[in-house]
Amino acid sequence: MSPAQTTPHIILVDDDKNIVTSVKIALESEGWRVSSFHDGEEGLAGILDNTPDLVVLDIKMPRMDGIEVLQKLREQSQVPVIFLTSKDDEVDEIVGLKMGADDYITKPFSQRLLITRIQTLLRREQQRSPDSTEADQILTYGDLMLDRNRYLCAWAGQLLDLTVTEFLLLLALASRPGHVKNREQLIDAAYGNQIYVDERTIDSHIKRIRKKFKKIDDDFDNIETLYGIGYKYKEASPA
């Protein structure tokens, strides 16, 4: 296999050429291949033609905005997507996360933060095949398995395709079964203090997590809602 085939390929879509130039240099300095496009329509075509490992996508763009690009992309691909947004784009950010974006970063942003988020997503995507890992990084509880190193989740031996955000939310709940986490605590677990997220977005994520589990096990009911309070992962029944 050639180096080009093993080097992660990232597509950057943003109409601000200065951002594209500086980010492209930063990402290439990490050893990644980077392709760039300057509007949503060209970006979508480039993503579908090149099958990248990850996409960094601006929201406000000519011809086709990032929300529409993501909507069309999710019809054909589950490639990880990080949104670049402006501070006044909170509504679009929430819509994007509900549609399946894996993360978003608000402009102006630290390139080191972007690189860290990309590394996290690439590690999850590139290590989905079974492999050995540190035992203390594996959380098992009944049929649930969470691999903290590789951001992998399995239920009764079957892998689930969780986003990083979904994985971190589930990990926060499953790490302490029976313990209630309110929405603010779950926001901190999934996002830290880097960005603002509306509490309703947590409800949307939990709904998507439950849906993914039910595709594997229709009887799955381990995430409980405590109305007006938050969520908890159900404790195992006594043997």
70 shares a domain with 39: yes
Q: Residue 48: which H helix or E strand, with range?
A: helix 40-50
Domain with 34 in it: 3-126
In this structure, what token pair is assigned to residue 99?
């549609």
Amino acid making up residue 61: M
Residue with tokens 């901190």: 188
CB atoms within 10 A of CB 106: 18
Q: Are 55 and 13 in contact (CB under 8 A)?
A: yes
12 shares a domain with 74: yes
CATH code for the domain in which residue 182 is found: 1.10.10.10
The model's pLDDT over 23-78, given as tens digits with 9 standing for 90+, comes to 999 999 999 999 999 999 999 999 999 989 999 999 888 888 888 999 899 888 88
208 shares a domain with 114: no
The model's pLDDT over 102-156, given as tens digits with 9 standing for 90+, comes to 887 878 788 888 898 898 788 766 655 444 445 557 889 999 999 887 778 999 9
Which residue, 69, 101, 126, sits at the end of a domain? 126
Tell me, yes or no, whether 238 lies in a domain.
Answer: no
Q: Are 71 and 101 in contact (CB under 8 A)?
A: no
